[in-house]
């Protein structure tokens, strides 16, 4: 038995050099959100580090929109050869299963988790044109002006969207949700005053 195991180990050791080393070509990295947003920036930093460590180029491709579904589908449809990686989060991996009854992929069958690489926190930001400076003042203002404020997010089902809905439910306020294809566009509109809260 030991001889058989040793023979298998030796054969594997001699066979390994005959296989091509991975990676031998650039690796696609799909980011299922718009460029310029927090996810995009974090993934570009990550892929720069991976590129330096692995000695191969990573090509970041942004596939924004529809609660990460198009970008996630791009990852699902890619050949399972290790040359297409991508970002997934609570939205694409869990929330969409509840919100989208016709989700075109099965997280457990179609995707493989490689690593948990970043943790991102949500924050509350308000345009300077809104006459509030504290959360308590925002709640009071929103209650006195139901439906007047709009809150933006990086898209339906994102943590920014769900966090905004939770905020409204917990505070008894009414704001109009405005979904974007990514956080960068929402931030631009927040700064310019097209939306008041994010």
Instruction: Enumerate residues 6+ apart whose C-beta is below 8 A from 161.
Output: 153, 154, 155, 177, 179
- With cut-offs at 50, 70 and 90, classify the pLDDT of residue 190: very high
Asked if 175 contacts 147 with a C-beta cutoff of 8 angstroms, the reply is: yes
CA distance 122 to 166: 12
* Residue that the structure tokens 């050869």 belong to: 81
In the chain, the domains with their CATH numbers are 15-110 (3.40.190.150), 135-192 (3.40.190.10)
CA distance 61 to 29: 6
CA distance 134 to 126: 10
Going from the C-alpha of 5 to that of each of 14, 17, 18, the distances in angstroms are: 14, 20, 21
Q: What pLDDT, in 10s, does the model give residues 16-55?
A: 555 678 999 999 999 998 899 888 999 999 999 999 999 9
Is pLDDT of 155 > 60? Answer: yes
Q: What's the mean pLDDT in 183-193?
A: 95
Cα–chain-centroid distance for residue 68? 7
Q: What's the mean pLDDT in 167-191?
A: 95
- pTM higher than the cut 0.75: yes
Q: Residue 17 has what pLDDT? A: 54
Q: Residue 8 has what pLDDT? A: 39
Q: What pLDDT, in 10s, does the model give residues 66-106?
A: 888 999 999 999 999 999 999 988 877 888 888 888 899 99
Residue of 29, 30, 70, 86 lying closest to 155 (CA atoms): 70
Q: Residue 19 has what pLDDT? A: 60
- With cut-offs at 50, 70 and 90, classify the pLDDT of residue 3: very low
Could you tell me the sign of the dihedral formed by the alpha carbons of 92, 97, 103, 105, in that order?
Answer: positive
Residues in the chain: 198
Per DSSP, the three-state class of 59 is strand
Q: What's the mean pLDDT in 105-128?
A: 90
Residue of 177, 145, 172 lying closest to 160 (CA atoms): 177
């Amino acid at each position: 038995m030991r001889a058989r195991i040793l023979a298998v180990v030796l054969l594997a050791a001699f066979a390994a050099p005959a296989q091509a080393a991975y990676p031998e070509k650039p690796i696609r990295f799909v980011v299922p959100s718009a460029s310029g947003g927090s996810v995009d920036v974090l993934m570009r930093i990550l892929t720069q580090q991976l590129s330096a460590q692995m000695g191969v180029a990573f090509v970041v491709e942004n596939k924004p929109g529809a609660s990460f579904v198009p970008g996630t589908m791009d990852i699902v449809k890619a050949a399972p050869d290790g040359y297409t990686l991508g970002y997934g989060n609570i939205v694409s991996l869990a929330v969409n299963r509840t919100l989208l009854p016709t989700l075109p992929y099965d997280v457990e069958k179609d995707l493989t988790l490689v690593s948990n690489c970043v943790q991102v926190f949500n924050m509350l930001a308000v345009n300077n044109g809104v006459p509030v400076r504290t959360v308590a003042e925002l709640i009071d203002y929103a209650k006195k002006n139901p439906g007047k404020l709009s809150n933006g997010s990086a898209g339906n089902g994102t943590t920014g969207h769900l966090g905004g809905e939770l905020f409204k439910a917990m505070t008894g306020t009414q704001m109009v949700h405005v979904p974007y294809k990514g956080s960068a566009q929402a931030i631009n509109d927040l700064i310019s005053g097209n939306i008041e809260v994010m």
